[in-house]
Structure 1
Amino acid sequence: MRRLLVGILFASLTVAAPAAAADPVATAAPGDVVTSRSVNAPGFFYARTWLITYASTSATGTPITVSGTVVVPYGADADTPVIGYAPGTHGLGDQCAPSRHLEAGDETEGLLIHQYATRGYAVVVTDYEGIGTPGEHTYIAGRAEGNATLDAVRAALRLPGTGLSPSTDVAIVGYSQGGHAAGWAAQLAPTYAPELTIAAYAVGAPPANLKTVAEHNDGGENVGLVMAAGFGMDVTYPELDLAPYLNDAGRAAFADIRDDCTDELAKYAGHSMADYTTEDVLARPEWSARVDEQNLGGAIPRAPVLLYHSNGDEILPVGVSVGLRSDWCAGGADVTFWRTDTGAHFTTAALMSPAVTGWVADRLAGRPAAGNC
């Protein structure tokens, strides 16, 4: 079903492979461009496209290098806004990187990227930590996602030859894992990237409470995402040391999962985490604390936020966004919450994209958000 939806709804793009990643330069600041290469991108005939690597910061404060793609429409200038685009779950292996899917012409979020770029906005798409660059992907580690998204914007603004201004208006957008990343960017920006002029955030169907999401999916069709999140936590925080709590099946599964893309995670459908572990790791205090650290709501965005989520979302229950709205509103955030009846998770991403893009465009044009806290 997902493949059919993708084939109908999303445009095919082709770009060259990302430049080989470099180790972070010792003197590089977060957002500094490490490597860049201008490419011909037939899907973006109306724009110039660069494949970049840039300096960022891991969830634990370590300097890292992240890869991404910068799209700048012809005619862009110092007044052109920049969209920091946080993609949804692509998987754990390097071959899953959004930049590589753009090269292959099968990027599932291609149409969503085009909707921003064809309005004349520059768009920068992060690959996140460990996808397309050395090291493991720290899947669903909130600080790493938020940092990578904010630093991608910084890198686009520092990239020579774009004509963009460091003081131009910015919007951060994302759905699913991308919604988690956009939400974390919103919470981190005031202290991590205070120089960015961020006008809006669009946060779609974020996994705002990981324990709720894990419980919802355990034993279901999407338990592979829960396993991927467990892998991401383990590689983000080595002191958690998942290995002693895996049985034989678990050791085999987690050795295999490290390079799976999203579609391959379906092989675990119908299983429970108990099939792979010797005890409930989420009941262990060290695991419980680290997983809770990834939840959204602990800090307040300072720019208007569009939070949207479908009642029929089968992967990420709408209740996690209901709770997030409550937390952000209680802290004084300017939140517009769209609780929709647009069906399943992937369907909602496509159906809501024109309205979401329009809401972002209004904020970039300086129109105030109505809000509904």
Structure 2
Amino acid sequence: MALSLVRMVRLALVGLAAFTSIASALPAPPVPRSTVLAPDADPFYQPPAGFASEAPGTILSQRDITAAFFGLIPIDVEAYQLLYRTTAVNGSAIATVTTVFKPKNAKLDRFVSFATAYDSSATKCQPSYAYQLGAPQDSLIASVELLIIEIYLALGYTVASPDYEGPEAAFGPGRLAGMGVLDGIRAVKSFKTLGLTGNPMVVGMGYSGGAIATGWAASLQPKYASELNIKGWVQGGTPSNVTGTMYQLDNTAFSGLLPPAIAGLSKPSAYGAELDTFISKVMTADGQKILDSAVSECVTEDLLAFFERSIFESSFQSMGEDFIFDPIVQSVLKQNSMAVNKDETPTAPTFVYHATNDEVIPYADAKKMVNSWCNWDANVKFTTYASGGHATTEIIAIPDVINFVKNAFAGTTKSGCIANTELGSILNPIALGVELEPILVKLIDALFNLGEQDSKVKSDPVGVLSTNL
């Protein structure tokens, strides 16, 4: 459910470090920021009349865009955006956007679905907006995760990154996000401009907040989109149990992720019918003000606005700890916890990785999820990282993730459940070959700035954020 402040800082460091080195190889000049419209003002995001009668995954509109790092430096790839039909929690039709990056010499029999961790319930934070040349960079995470996407582009994979939270930016409801990912894959598969062949192979991935979308896509795919040629799923730092994640985040440097999650779960496309009246009744004036802010700001502001506060405090809501145990709330939380139902078990090979000392997302919950899936005959590789915290683990894991992706496309992943522990905390800059060395060097720079188990950021997250952005 959450992407930590440390991860956001790490990504900022990565992107800023790469800024100068890539600029000389890319075209210019930038366009004025005023030419790019926010999603709420951009007609492209509005579906045509009658779209509800279309099948999930149907492309409703398409356009070319110029993708850019930090809205300023164009990326030398073909880039497109597709408005497609997907599904709300109650089964009604909604429309959202996926952004597609196609590199030169792309492999036409496969592509990657990359769920970025934008962790916000404000529509201006949709990654499709941040990816565009000239867009203001309110959604810092989506902006800098383009460098990670660059790894897959360099390997010759087309990459699709969906606005999986839907048109209302509903952060938290995993089922909605999972369907958004799967319908985005359907849309890309049918997008003839890409020249994809036959029934293209797909690997889906996401870390932290992006693992909500990816984990639920993996869980729902056998029933919701069985026709897709899914070769594998990768999910790291997975918030598999919403209740456990909320308790771990509460009253910490990362507690600012909780109000947007509450707001996101309460959106009409999510569980507004169940939660809206209840939330309105128990929120204090201060609590409602914080929720209102959460639907208009991105993760940076959210973290600062609710820093080291608790959702159980009386100034936020009137029920104290009983708030989370209310039957209405419990029903919603249970519906969005993974590995509860046997018929929602991934059937494609799945790579799950998590740090023992993850300070944001409980390790024990991820392990429990894996154990349940394995008991239900899933094929899961579960890697425990014994060194590092939430942010550093994604960096350290990159070689393992890339190798899993390659094996998944080749059909050479091992069957059954495999568990291993990694003790190392060093990323080899040539671990994936000379062509990726410049990108991995930037990731190493970020790893150094974070420090062991992310301790540098944990000690003063707001200070580090201010210093490095």
TM-score normalised to structure 2 length = 0.74
Quick check: 1:197 aligned with 2:229? yes
Q: CA deviation at 1:174?
A: 0.5
Rate the CA distance shift 1:343–1:284 in 2: closer, same or farther, 3 A: same
Q: CA deviation at 1:223?
A: 1.4
What pairs up with 1:38-49 in 2 under 5 angstroms?
Answer: 38-41=64-67, 45=75, 47-49=77-79
* 1:237 aligned partner: 271
Q: CA deviation at 1:39?
A: 2.4
* 1:252 aligned partner: 289
Partner of 1:309, secondary structure, is: strand
Q: CA deviation at 1:344?
A: 2.3
Task: Report if the CA contact (8 A) 2:119-2:171 is conserved.
Answer: no
Give distance in 1, aligned partners of 2:101 and 2:296. 27
Q: CA deviation at 1:4?
A: 4.8
Matched letter for residue 12 of structure 2: G
Quick check: 1:21 aligned with 2:51? no
The worse-fitting range, judged by mean Cα deviation, of 283-292 and 354-363 is: 354-363
Quick check: 1:262 aligned with 2:291? no
Partner of 2:382, secondary structure, is: strand
Quick check: 1:100 aligned with 2:124? no
Rate the CA distance shift 1:372–1:37 in 2: closer, same or farther, 3 A: same
Deviations 1:141-188 (A, max 9, x none): 111110111111111111131101351111110011211111111111
Give distance in 2, aligned partners of 1:42 and 1:3. 18
Quick check: 1:372 aligned with 2:439? no
Give distance in 1, aligned partners of 2:362 and 2:222. 29
Give distance in 1, aligned partners of 2:185 and 2:345. 20
Deviations 1:184-230 (A, max 9, x none): 11111111111111010001111100111111121111112122221
Percent identity, aligned pairs only, is: 28
What pairs up with 1:160-309 in 2 under 5 angstroms?
Answer: 160-235=192-267, 236-238=270-272, 239-240=274-275, 241=277, 242-266=279-303, 267-275=305-313, 276-279=316-319, 280-297=322-339, 298=341, 299-309=344-354
Quick check: 1:50 aligned with 2:92? no
Which aligned runs of 4 or more in structure 1 are off by greater than 3 angstroms?
1-4, 10-19, 40-46, 75-78
Q: CA deviation at 1:257?
A: 1.3
Deviations 1:116-161 (A, max 9, x none): 121111111011234xx4xx32211111110111111111111131
Give the one of 169, 174, 191 matched to 1:137: 169
Give distance in 1, aligned partners of 2:241 and 2:107. 40
Deviations 1:16-58 (A, max 9, x none): 7676212261332111111111123366755311022111111
* 1:120 aligned partner: 156
* 1:111 aligned partner: 147
Give distance in 2, aligned partners of 1:2 and 1:137. 20
Give the one of 332, 351, 368 matched to 2:396: 351
Matched letter for residue 162 of structure 2: T
Give distance in 2, aligned partners of 1:117 and 1:139. 27
Partner of 2:263, secondary structure, is: helix
Which is greater in Rg? 2
Q: CA deviation at 1:3?
A: 5.7
Give distance in 2, aligned partners of 1:151 and 1:322. 28
Give distance in 1, aligned partners of 2:384 and 2:337. 20
Task: Report if the CA contact (8 A) 1:32-1:154 is conserved.
Answer: yes
* RMSD (Å), alpha carbons: 2.2
Give distance in 2, aligned partners of 1:138 and 1:41. 24
TM-score normalised to structure 1 length = 0.92
* 2:464 aligned partner: none
Rate the CA distance shift 1:173–1:32 in 2: closer, same or farther, 3 A: same
Deviations 1:49-107 (A, max 9, x none): 1022111111221111111201122333642x111111113422122111222224761
Q: CA deviation at 1:341?
A: 2.8
| Unmatched segments (≥5 aa) in structure 2 | 1-5, 23-29, 420-469
Task: Report if the CA contact (8 A) 1:9-1:350 is conserved.
Answer: no
Matched letter for residue 266 of structure 2: D
Q: CA deviation at 1:357?
A: 1.8
Quick check: 1:340 aligned with 2:353? no
Give the one of 373, 389, 396 matched to 1:328: 373
| Unmatched segments (≥5 aa) in structure 1 | none
Give the one of 86, 108, 111 matched to 1:82: 111
* 1:146 aligned partner: 178
Quick check: 1:8 aligned with 2:42? no
Q: CA deviation at 1:288?
A: 0.3
What pairs up with 1:56-75 in 2 under 5 angstroms?
Answer: 56-75=86-105
Q: CA deviation at 1:342?
A: 4.2
Paired residues in the alignment total 368
Task: Report if the CA contact (8 A) 2:164-2:213 is conserved.
Answer: no
Rate the CA distance shift 1:341–1:110 in 2: closer, same or farther, 3 A: farther
